[in-house]
Amino acid sequence: MRRSKKERQQMLVETIRENPFITDEELADKFTVSVQTIRLDRLELSIPELRERIKSVAENHLSDEIKALPIDEIIGEIIDIELDQSAISIFDVKHEHVFKRNGIARGHHLFAQANSLAVAVINDELALTAKASIHFTRQVKEHERIVAKAKVIDGGISGRTLVEVNSFVGHELVFKGQFEMYRSNFDEKDV
């Protein structure tokens, strides 16, 4: 059954309110219309594109929570965080992030996303990477979206916190790392 434009736009507003991270492509599939129709609907309704919605959600909800570095210094867009527990960020690989000759993302961008997420998840004013063990499991290409998931797995032997970060394109693991993080609020009585 084909919906009227008004009906579709009302449902579009509700869908984006429930999930601000839904893409135009996913919306087009959901409403059985073209991506261009979704973009025109968003324009008429003054709904920003996905990147702006993510940035807005991050700035509004996360900037007060993240202590170790300013939100604008994080590589990628943090979409969820529970300090000293877990965090998720996304990074869209663009032309400026890849080698010109083959379109493969430069590794330091994947590392930077994972490392800044490991710093951000630490509930401390000062968190620094003391040591990292990383592994790239597959090449990442231009236009792919990397979802990095950080998990605190050890809370502080000798003033260090171990954070594991796994990065995915779709469901495929592309990067994994363990980051030993120094934190300033370590109390030696806790050992």
Which pLDDT tens digit goes with each residue over 65-82? 555 555 567 788 888 888
Least confident of 35-39, 50-54, 163-167: 50-54
- Global pTM reads 0.65
- CB-based burial, 128-162: b 16+ in 10 Å, e otherwise: eeeebeeebeeebebebebbbbbbbeeebeebbbb
Q: Both ends of the chain: CA-CA distance in Å?
A: 64
Give the pLDDT confidence of 154-171 residue by residue, as tens digits. 765 567 899 999 999 999
Give the pLDDT confidence of 88-113 residue by residue, as tens digits. 999 999 999 999 999 999 999 999 99
